[in-house]
Every structure is written in structure tokens, then in C-alpha cells.
Chain A
Amino acid sequence: MTARIDQRFADLAREGRAGLVTFIMAGDPDYSTSLAIAKALPGAGADIIELGMPFTDPMADGPAIQAAGLRALKAGQNMLKTLELVRDFRKTDSATPIVLMGYYNPIYVYGVEKFLKDANAAGVDGLIVVDLPPEEDEELCIPAMQSGLAFIRLATPTTDDKRLPAVLKNTSGFVYYVSITGITGAATPETSKVSGAVARIKRHTKLPIAVGFGVRTAEHARGIAEGAGADAVVVGSALVDAVRGSLDKDGRASAHTVQAATALVSTLASGVKSARRMAAE
């Protein structure tokens, strides 16, 4: 439902702070550990959860997220289990928005109509599908929005003013601004450049803007939220790296895995939350 995302951003606006969007890969390193991480994220300070749908060939992702997807697939994750994970999460949390993020092929092969029905039933709120630009809106974007899911579009530094209206036209929930030209987890964005871009996109839309790609520390997160005026900050590769770093030598979850994720999220959340407070003073 788009409603849960809209509600969350309305709450954030009322609190006068930016949100923290956290990405984890569904099924990394295994189903039950990733479910436990997902359940612990809101308590650690995550406002929205992006749940990666693993794919063998993630062409816009860097090594960290590629490896996370392969770990999940190796542990037997698939689309059915990813939707199951959302259902399990919803048993104890009906407020935190969940956005599925990934590539089109696993959805296409699952069947678009069936996927939208099952995703809605499981409690998914929105979709980010990296390889579906506005030129392919009829594939999934329009049916998804008709079904009640938000379709969150990526805007990038190459999306100029001429192209922005086309990108924003069928976008709902929020806009995800990719702060660098590059793959996930690669470079760190310059706050000043991001600031200009956020202002530019805000001239074209009233939707909240989340900024991601390359955000790794509380300092970065605070800079993006405070200096650049983003409504939310997305952290992905750093969190996935924290999960990886906690695994035992055979790549299995250890006693520290959930805690490794929540510890990083707590730190990042404090960075994001300190931003608007300081800005408001």
C-alpha cells in the first residue's frame, strides 16, 4: 500500500527530521537470519525497509550487493520466500513500510499479475525495479500503481530537467535520487552536488526525496540529510557489508550477525536524526 509510505513521510515531516531507509538482501545469509534482521531494523532506527530481491545478474550493483544476492540464492532464497519473508515481518509490524528492490526478470518470470496480487497480500508497500525506466512503464509500473503499490523511480545525475518530468510522471511513494553515476557502494557523493540535485528535483515534484548510493557512515548520512535537504537517506552496501563481516568462515550467520546490522543502523539513525534537530535550532 502506498498509504504506509505516505503515512511514514507525513510522520517524519511532523517530527521535523529526515528518515533512514535501510537496504538488506532477502535471504542473506539465510532466511531466518534475514527475517530476524528485518524485524530488528525498526527498533534500531530504520524508518523504511528496502528488501532486495536476489538476482544472479544485478547490472547496477557493486560487489557488496552482488555477493549478498549470491549468498541468498545459495541459501535457497527465491521470490516465493521473499514474499513469505514480508508476510512473516507483517505478523509483528504493521507500520514500517517495505519496498522490494531488484531487477525485472524474476518478477516477469513469476508473472506480473500474480506478483502484484501476492506482493499486495503479503504487505509490500512499494517497488523499485532498477532496469525498468519510464520507457517501459507498461510492463510493471502502471499495473503496480493500479494494484495499489507505490512505484518508486530512480532519478540520477544524468536525468536532466528535460527528462525529469517523464521520470516523475508515474512515480509514487517517494523519489530515490541516485547520488552518483555509478554502481551501488562505489563512490561517496559530494554533499554540495547532491544539494543542488535535490533542490532541482523538488522544483518538479512534491514527493519526498530519498538519497542513496555511497552513503556509509553516520557523518555521510547526517551531511545528506542536513546539508543536501533530503527527506530520507538510503544505506545499502554498508549494511550488507556489516552482515558479511559478521559471518563465520563458512559464510554462515554467527551469534553476532543481527547485532552487527542493528549496531550500524543505530549509529546511522543517530546521524540522520541529529541532522534536522541541528538545522532547526
Chain B
Amino acid sequence: MNVHPNSLRNGPDDRGHFGIYGGRFVAETLMPLILELEKAYNDAKADPAFHAEMNGYLTHYVGRPSPLYFAERMTEHLKGAKIYFKREELNHTGAHKVNNVLGQIMVARRMGKKRIIAETGAGMHGVATATLCARFGLECIVYMGAVDVERQKPNVFRMKMLGAEVRPVVSGSKTLKDAMNEALRDWVTNVSDTFYCIGTVAGPHPYPAMVRDFQCVIGRETREQMMAAEGRLPDSLVACIGGGSNAMGLFHPFLDDKDIEIYGVEAAGHGLDKQHAASIAGGKPGVLHGNRTYLLMDSDGQIAEAHSISAGLDYPGIGPEHAWLSDMGRVKFLSATDDEAVAALQLCSKLEGIIPALEPAHALAQVMRLAPKKPKDHLMVINISGRGDKDLDAVAQYLETKK
């Protein structure tokens, strides 16, 4: 890694801050655990044996590297930039989530933790956590909003099949933010034996940095693969953002390549003037779930209920490093509505024979806008962060109501 004094890749500081964002806003009960985790992670990061073991699993269990695929028919259709898909949906468990979970489970094992808890929205992080807990013989409890349990049934069944206990969360809005509250409550209660495996680049330090580091394999591979395919780096990167882990994994290794345009795509739900999940576009800085970041909330600081057709983006916050990169203008934040995401999912399925998840379909919707404006030699990479099987019911229902 080329890390320079003026690099955008040096964050966070030793207290977990990216500019004013990040930090460690947790109850005292958890603070000693977070400090212990930070130490364990730093030790692991410095241990070549840790990386060697992780790389072995990434190759043989996860199935990395994931292909960088030239989306020829999408490119012809949009008549502009040359579009490449980074195919994270081909990973074991069907999404990018497994990259992070593998890393955290290996840290948990080093710490001697036997009980793993996780929150999940769409269920992909829950499935990845259940999978690795099965692989390593660990107890696994997944908190999932009751609304999400209903709209992501196949993933609930997968988690149970893998031996995990899925606990539906009925408090608050019954979605991802409430699942995270409940996981934190579990952690506060079961401090001695429990490891909290957070699914995105959010939460108290060191989670945003640790999850980012584990996801950076996406961007590192993309650099190498694009050099092999085209002999140069891409001109632009596009990824969807809920908490933002697939996006951060792709973006981070390119942050210091100043000429590369970087686009994050938030979920605009029913529209930015209605109910949505776009924290940067419609939120302001606040403190929730252990970090300061952009949040959707009212003028009293009460957290708003987000809405997106995609359960994985249905969160009223965003990772603190994204908040920082947005403020300084390094990453440009756009959004796509439910309608646009479903249309993009349909187009991609028909043109490329790839059914993307609703989450990356948001990024695809912006690719459909951005690509036609670019010249034919512009190389655009989009992270296809997950596959769409889990969403077929939701999409079918949605299309039914639109008839």
C-alpha cells in the first residue's frame, strides 16, 4: 500500500475520527470491549500468519478473486463508457459481505470468543455470519427487524439451515437500525463471551476501519484486473451505499488516484422529497450506533424511519468515512429511487443474464445515467455487490402493485 502523509487513506486517527466523523459513542459497559477489540485487531493486522490464513480461506472458501467482467451488452445499450462489473455476487454466500465476516470471525477466534452476534437488513450479512460460524463451529445469533424477516424469507431460511438463531426485532421501526440496537443490547448483556460482528463500515471505532480493511480486497483486485484487461486504471467507480461497506471496499484503494471519479449511490426510496434512505442527500451530522455521521432525523434529533425497497439500504445512517469523503468532495453522492432500481435490475437481467440484488441495482440505475455521457474509452467499474435471488419475491410484489 502506498500511504503518504497527504493520503486520503490514512484515516482514522487513533481515536477513530475521520475529520469530525466516527468516534466511540458507546455505553461504558462496552468501552473496555471495544478497546480490547482494537488491540486484537491491530495485533492481527501486524501478523503475517493472520493474513496468510485469511488469504487461504478467501481463495478456497470464498472463491476469490471475483471476476472483473466486461458488460458488453450493457455497454452497447448505453452507448457510452465501457462498463465493467466487479462480480462480488459470485462470492460464496452471494455477496461482498463474506469478505468482512471472514476477517472478523478470524479476529474473534484469536480473542477466544465462542458466541457471535450480528445484525442484518437484507439478510446477506446474516447469511455470511451464519455460514462462517457453521464453518468454525461457533454459536451464531442474528438480529433482524421483523419487517425484514417478512420481506427476506429465503435468507431467514438459509440462516436457520446453517444453524443460526434468527431473532426477529419488534422494537422501533422493525428494520436494520432496530436490529443494530438489539444487537448492541445483547452485547452489553453478554460481554464476556460474545463478539459482535458488525456488517458495515459503521459503529464505534475500530469497526469502520476494520470492516473497510477487510473489504478493500475488492478494490485491490479491481486495480490488478483492470491493469490486466486494459493496461490502465479505470476512469470511474460506482457503488451503492447503505452503510457503505461494498462501496468503501471498492473505493478506498483508489482514493489517492485523484483523476478517478468516484460515485456512491444512496437509496432515494419513494423520492428524496418523500420517504427514503439517503443519509447524505437528506440527513445531517448526528450520533447513533457508536459513531458520528450523517443521519436521517427530525429537528429534535429523533432518528427517522428510512425507506427503501432494498432492505440492505434501508438504514438512516452511513459509514463515517463516507461522510468525511462526501464533505471533502472526493466521493460524489447520487441516489436512485425504488422505481429506478427495479428498472435497472430488469435491464441488467435481460441484457447480461445477471440478476443483481436490489442494492447494486441502485448503482446500476446511476450507471444508466452516467455512462451515456462518457466517451467510449471511459472505463467505468460498478460493484455488483450481491445477487438478486433473495429479492425475487419483493420485485414480483412491486411489479404487481405497479400494474
Contacts and interface: CB of A to CB of B under 8 A. Distances in A.
A106 B28 contact: no
Given A105-B286, A153-B28, A158-B29, A181 B191 contact: yes
> From DSSP, what is the main secondary structure of chain B's interface residues?
mixed
B300 A130 contact: no
Nearest to A181: B191
Given A60-B188, A63-B171, A181-B191, A105 B303 contact: yes
A190 to B, nearest CB: 16
Interface string A65-77: 0100010010000
A266 interface: no
Contacts of B171: 63, 66
Given A156-B28, A158-B191, A60 B185 contact: yes
B300 A78 contact: yes
B27 A130 contact: yes
B23 interface: yes
Contacts of B188: 59-60, 181-183
A181 B30 CA distance: 9
A109 B295 CA distance: 11
Given A183-B189, A186-B189, A133 B31 contact: yes
Contacts of B301: 55, 79, 105-110
A57 B300 contact: no
A106 B23 contact: no
A108 B287 contact: yes
Contact of A159 (B25, B28, B185): B28
Given A59-B289, A105-B287, A105-B288, A131 B302 contact: no
B184 A167 contact: no
Given A78-B300, A158-B191, A56 B172 contact: yes
Contacts, number: 119
A136 B29 contact: no
B147 interface: no
A174 B25 CA distance: 21
A154 interface: yes
Instruction: Give the interface centre of A56, A70, A132 by most chain B CB atoms within 10 Å.
Output: A56
Contacts of B303: 56-57, 105
Nearest to A70: B172
B15 interface: yes
Interface residues of A, number: 44
Contacts of A62: 185
A200 interface: no
A107 to B, nearest CB: 8
A73 B303 CA distance: 11
A158 B184 contact: no
B189 to A, nearest CB: 4
Contacts of B177: 57
A108 B26 CA distance: 15
Contacts of B26: 131, 133
Contacts of A106: 300-302
Contact of B302 (A56, A107, A155, A183): A56
A135 B189 contact: no
B286 A135 contact: no
B33 interface: yes
A178 interface: yes
A154 B287 contact: no
Nearest to A59: B184
A73 B31 CA distance: 29
18 contacts: A56-B302, A58-B181, A59-B184, A60-B184, A63-B171, A66-B171, A78-B302, A107-B301, A108-B301, A130-B27, A131-B290, A133-B25, A135-B24, A135-B31, A154-B27, A154-B28, A158-B33, A163-B31
Interface of A: 54-60, 62-63, 66, 70, 73, 78-79, 103-110, 130-136, 153-160, 163, 167, 178, 181-183, 186
Interface of B: 15, 23-33, 171-172, 177-178, 181, 184-185, 188-192, 284, 286-290, 292, 295, 297, 299-303
**Which 7 residue pairs of A and B lie closest in terms of their CB atoms, listed nearest first?**
A109-B301, A106-B301, A182-B189, A78-B300, A156-B29, A60-B27, A105-B301
Given A59-B181, A183-B185, 12 more contacts: A58-B181, A59-B185, A60-B185, A79-B301, A106-B300, A108-B287, A109-B300, A133-B24, A133-B26, A136-B23, A154-B29, A159-B32
